[in-house]
A and B are shown apart, each in its own frame.
Chain A
Amino acid sequence: MKIRDKLFLGFSLYMLLAIIMAFFSYKELRSINTRLISVEVVDDIANSILEIRRHEKNYLLFKNEESLKEIRSYHIDLNKNIDNIKSEIITEIGTATYTMLKNTMSNYELLIDNLSKTFQSEEKLALLTGTTGTRIEHRLSGRELSDFLTLRRHEKNILLYKDQLNYEIFESFSPLNLRNDKEVSEYRTIVRKLFMSYKDEKDLTDNIRLKGRELQSITKNLSKKEREYIDVTLKKAGKFLFYGLITIILLGIIINIKLSRNIAIPIKKLEEITKKISAGDYSDLMEVKGSDEIASLEISFNQMEKKLLETKFSLEHAIQKLHEKQSQLVAAEKLATLGTFAAGVAHEINNPLAIINEKAGLMKDILEMAEDFKYKSKFLDQVDAITESVKRCRNITHRILGFARKTEVSIEVFDINDIINELKGFLEKEVQLKNIQLEMNLSENLPKVRSDRGQLQQIFLNIAKNAIDAVDNGGVVAIFTGTKDPSTVRVAMQDNGHGISDDALKHIFEPFFTTKEKGKGTGLGLSITYGIIKNLGGDIHVESEVNKGTTFVIELPINPEHTKGEIA
């Protein structure tokens, strides 16, 4: 799986979890909020009941209309509130309790209504008792009046205490003189009714108190249940948040570990290897794992490192080549400077040499014309020696001037094989003299070159003569032609002569360096040869082993880019 996909998946999972958590937390909070409203309503209900009960007390005490009105108004509120949270009440305390609550409420109302009616009838009865009693009192007199007044005292006790004992006292007081009085019997019946009403009132009051308490206990229970529910919900939400947070933290840690294993660790490794590469250590490669972006990065990195290494090698190679070329150039420059210098010296020496030659020649002429004298022959020998020395000097200056003063490079297209073949004619005398075997191994399809024919002929002649000088009588000198590559022609001249020592090889192209005996070589041939070949864009090198032979290899471009106009 690609890292991009992994990252996307990881973060999506993370986000999803967070969203789910947020959603549930929100839901819980919302439900708690609703519950809190319910609690408020329940509290309102409880308060309403308390108010009702307070007014109930007042009503029982003062039997006033205001209290009754209050009770009724609270009752209506209560009913409304209960209807508002009907569903909650049902879920919290069950349908049965709800029904009971409603029933109790209506019972309570009914009882209050009854009580109010009872109060009204009591009032009427009490009034009637009073008027009837007063009327009887006005009609009676004497003993009858005094008995009736006693009866009325008992009546007052009933009205005051409303109890069974005073009622029984009232009933049991029945003087004979009043027994047949119809009005008194009426009065008695009214008082009896009043007492009965009192008894009803008491029952009702008890019942009302009971129902009131019931209501209170139900609301109390409801409130308790609501609070319990909120408690539970809060605890649940807390737990949910706690576990959710732990999950998110754990997931975060896991994603972090995964990411660091997949990205951070390879990148760290990449950094280490990069540092190593900077320090020139190319030994470490990235370990490629999987097939994600990091893996392809690792593959690319390894390829880059390989390329870098190749580039480094080729750069080092190029620098080495450059150094070689540079030293060759320096050498060529040195040789060219020396060549110019040598040519100048040679030219300047040549004229005095010519004078010495003529003077010595004249001396010899004069001596030959002169008569014999004691030292004549010795004198002649001296003159001859001077002439010989001049000849030696002449050879040197001529060689210097012959090579170095050949200034113009004249470029033409020709076949190297032709000038090699022409060498045979130049070398004939020496080859015969030393009985040398001259072998020609010429490539048949040698490409023609653009170069200086005359200079190359001089060079090949010079090297061939050196080869002949190096071999003993009956030695072998072989000349090969061929191509090094499609744009370079190669000429090799091999001999089986005495070879050149390593020390001498180092200096072989330096001017005035020679291994030949004094007077035989100027030490200029090879240095001039080197200069000319370099100037023609070619190259020359020697391989040699003492007593086995020497090979000179000359490489020439078929089509040189440019050639210097002048050598020296």
Chain B
Amino acid sequence: MSTKVLIVDDEAEFASTLAERLVIRGYNAKAVYQGDDAMQSVKNDPPDVILLDLRMPGVNGFEILQTIKAFDPTIEVILLTGQPQTEGMSEGVPTGLFDYIVKPVDIGELIKKIINANEKRHKR
């Protein structure tokens, strides 16, 4: 069974294209562009790994993160960020996040992180 990846980002072109590329690489990837849709999707079809943009208009990314973790703490979340060093991340990755990746994304790097995250999830 292929790894289920959910991409949550308000930049639809980015999210959909990235999803398509992951599908080409054999992942079960899906993109949503709003916080509500993201939660809906998680509840209906829980993914293995979520790629989450914390900065979306009108939504607090951290709240989404907490809701996801409350729903299923085993779902691993990789942060999509525009900045190389987001606040509070110089000492590492904040609680609840598996890892982060900086946009524009290097696809090879992303795949590595998804594999790691998935491995972690299934180890439990």
Contact = CB atoms under 8 A, between A and B. Distances in A.
Interface of A: 347, 350-351, 353-359, 361-362, 365-366, 369, 390-391, 393-394, 397-398, 401-402, 405-408, 454
B82 A358 contact: no
Q: Which of B11, B85, B104 has the most CB of A within 10 A?
A: B104
Contacts, number: 65
Interface stretch (B15-23, B71-79, B113-121): B15-23
B1 interface: no
A515 to B, nearest CB: 24
Given A356-B104, A408-B87, A454-B90, A401 B20 contact: no
B84 to A, nearest CB: 4
A361 B11 contact: no
By secondary structure, the A interface counts as helix
Given A347-B82, A398-B102, A358 B17 contact: yes
Given A390-B104, A402-B83, A354 B21 contact: no
Given A354-B11, A365-B24, A401 B83 contact: yes
B105 A357 contact: yes
Secondary structure of the B side of the interface?
loop
Interface string B88-112: 0010000000000011110100000
A114 to B, nearest CB: 160
A401 B14 CA distance: 20
Those 5 A-B pairs whose CB atoms lie nearest each other, nearest first? A357-B104, A358-B17, A354-B103, A354-B104, A350-B82
A351 B9 CA distance: 11
Contacts of B105: 354, 357-358
B36 interface: no
A347 B83 CA distance: 8
11 contacts: A353-B104, A355-B14, A356-B104, A357-B104, A361-B107, A362-B20, A393-B104, A402-B83, A402-B85, A405-B83, A454-B90
Contacts of A393: 104
A350 B90 contact: no
A406 B86 CA distance: 8
Contacts of A359: 13, 17
A358 B14 contact: yes
A351 B87 contact: no
Given A355-B17, A407-B87, 18 more contacts: A350-B103, A351-B103, A353-B104, A354-B104, A354-B105, A355-B11, A357-B103, A357-B105, A358-B13, A358-B104, A359-B17, A362-B17, A365-B21, A391-B104, A394-B104, A402-B85, A406-B85, A408-B87
A366 B13 CA distance: 17
Nearest to B11: A351
B7 to A, nearest CB: 11
Nearest to B103: A354
A517 to B, nearest CB: 23
A28 B107 CA distance: 135
B82 A362 contact: no
A433 B85 CA distance: 27
B14 A354 contact: yes
Contacts of B90: 454
Contacts of B13: 355, 358-359
A362 B14 CA distance: 11
Contacts of A353: 103-104
B33 to A, nearest CB: 13
Nearest to A402: B84
Given A357-B104, A390-B104, A398-B102, A351 B21 contact: no
A153 B17 CA distance: 204
